[in-house]
Structure 1
Amino acid sequence: MTTDLFTGRLRSIPAAGRRVAIAVPPTVLAAVFVVLVVLLWSVVPGIFTSHDPVTGNTGEKLIAPSPAHWFGTDYLGRDVYARIVYGTASSVTSALVAVLIGLIVGSVIGLASGFLGGGVDTILGRVVDVLLAIPGFLLAVVVVSSLGFTTLNAAIATGVSAVAVFARLMRAEVIRTRGSVFVEASYLQGGNRPQALLRHILPNVYPSIVALAVLQFGMSILVIAALAFLGYGDPPPASDWGLLVSSGKNYPTAPWLVYAPALVIVATVLSVNRISTWLRQAR
């Protein structure tokens, strides 16, 4: 084992001709498979179902799950599986928008706070403290109520509520890394602050931020589904996952209307969380 002067990390020197491989647990492979299926649903939904998600057959309403209708039909005879598949694009896209907002804004705030320090750190730290003092879901409800009830606005609201989480982690990682020996060594070799930031600090910070972004993607899906359930997303005939659960709860004799989209949400969120956990452990 040797210590890399410029990264500060222990690294092993493998024997000649030997490659170091990281074993991937079966649970991670299953989680990746679930996430890939969901992403394919959002990109090419027509490959996975031939049913129309908007127009149904009233003669086949409230049919239980069967080989013809995997997740059953709803109160208008529409195939629930088709509605879930076609609703994936909205759910996934809005979650990505939320993560990008939180990642970009939060990382900039945390980077400026941790790297510059002093008065900048004090001011930005108080802003982050205020955001952290407000429950994330409550902040999202307030923002989406101000912007309007659409899925895009729900995504923006979810992203705003995630800014403080990214800012806090980025600040902590930057403060931890900037005091490392390899950063001080870069200064002794004639490097300046921008070089230290770009060549040494950011490369050692981004793995933690990526793991958090993956985790936040799953949380964003859950928060946006909850907002849609409460009516803060696009109105029918949209088929957002949360809206499907909300509309299905009015039909207690057809529990699959709730269970099917709810299970998809749970499976997706748990899979994303498992991948995020593995990324942190692999690091």
Structure 2
Amino acid sequence: MTVSAVSAARPAARRRAAVPPTVVLSFAVVAVVLSWALLPGLFTGQDPAAGVPADKFLPPGAGHWFGTDHLGRDLFSRVVHGTATSVGSALIAVGIGVVVGGVIGLVAGFAGGWTDSALARLVDVLLAIPQFLLAVIVVSALGFQTVNAAVATGVSAVAVFARVMRSEVIKTRRAVFVEAAYLQGGSRWHILLRHVLPNASRSVLTLAVLQFGLSILVIAGLAFLGYGDPPPASDWGLLISVGKDYPLAPWLVYAPALVTIATVLSVNRISRWLRKTN
């Protein structure tokens, strides 16, 4: 490599290594949300289910950062304590999508032949159904609970993960290092687990981050429509649904809505950054 080529490569490497400020801010938002989910008692000492009737419909202020609701409950406390359910449900949904969809895509892309054709047709059928509609159908069959909403959201994401994994496995299977492993006498299981799976999983992991934000949005939408846990639960979507009934207290809607939007946008920004760095 010439000196000019080396000098030209160094600024490009610096650009790849530099983390944009928006990504840093997104990581900070996600860190706060995860802290709320894991340790809500560190951020608020108020009971999310107990209210003071004399304090109902107080606007946001120093005593109540997000204001209070129609029962005098602190809205900030309800949002913080509802984070565990919202984030945990999204993680369950992503886990189902990654495991089930990843296995389907891995088997289809590596086996090929009639196995690939059969699984590909199954994925096409799932992709033909809108994800939110499929989630509504599944949660209606399982029952109206947040855990069932998470399962429904994960089932609706299986096809996306299967399609991405299948395409990555097919591309990796044709790589030179895989052919070299075959020529050296490697078994199919060794090549699948040692070479194909690690290299094909990179795009799937990036997709999982993006799907995490989408799952939060879908689960919040299901809770808003009444497919999640009933009150006095404090899921973000349920808080928005209850707050819309009180137009004279708009903070009951925009406080949990802004938290949801900020979380989803931050996760999406991190996903785009990860895709570029890979």
User: Which bracket does the TM-score occupy, shorter chain normalised?
Assistant: over 0.9
Aligned positions of 1:1-283 closer than 5 A = 22-283=17-278
CA distance in 2 between counterparts of 1:72 and 1:115 reads 55
**What letter is aligned with 2:157?**
A
Partner residue in 1 for 2:4? none
Q: What does the per-residue CA deviation read over 1:204-259, in whole Å, with 9 as the maximum and x for residues that have no partner?
A: 11111110111101000000000000000000000000000000000001000000
Aligned length: 268
**What letter is aligned with 2:124?**
D
* Cα deviation, residue 21, structure 1: 7.9
CA distance in 2 between counterparts of 1:184 and 1:46 reads 55
- The SS at the match of 2:105 is helix
* Cα deviation, residue 272, structure 1: 0.6
- 1:20/1:68 Cα in 2 relative to 1: closer, same or farther (>3 Å)? closer
CA distance in 2 between counterparts of 1:50 and 1:199 reads 49
Unaligned runs of 5+ in 1: 2-13
* Cα deviation, residue 190, structure 1: 2.2
Q: What does the per-residue CA deviation read over 1:77-116, in whole Å, with 9 as the maximum and x for residues that have no partner?
A: 1010000000000001110100001110000000000000
More helix per residue: 2
TM-score (norm 1): 0.92
CA RMSD of aligned residues (A): 1.6
Q: What does the per-residue CA deviation read over 1:34-71, in whole Å, with 9 as the maximum and x for residues that have no partner?
A: 11111110111011012110001110100110011100
| Percent of aligned pairs sharing the same letter | 68
CA distance in 2 between counterparts of 1:181 and 1:42 reads 45
Q: Is the contact made by 2:16 and 2:277 (CA closer than 8 Å) also made in structure 1?
A: no
CA distance in 1 between counterparts of 2:260 and 2:98 reads 22
CA distance in 1 between counterparts of 2:118 and 2:193 reads 24
Q: What does the per-residue CA deviation read over 1:170-213, in whole Å, with 9 as the maximum and x for residues that have no partner?
A: 00000011011121122122222222212221121111111011
CA distance in 2 between counterparts of 1:105 and 1:21 reads 33
Unaligned runs of 5+ in 2: 2-8
Structure 1 window deviating more from structure 2 (20-29 vs 106-115): it is: 20-29
TM-score (norm 2): 0.94
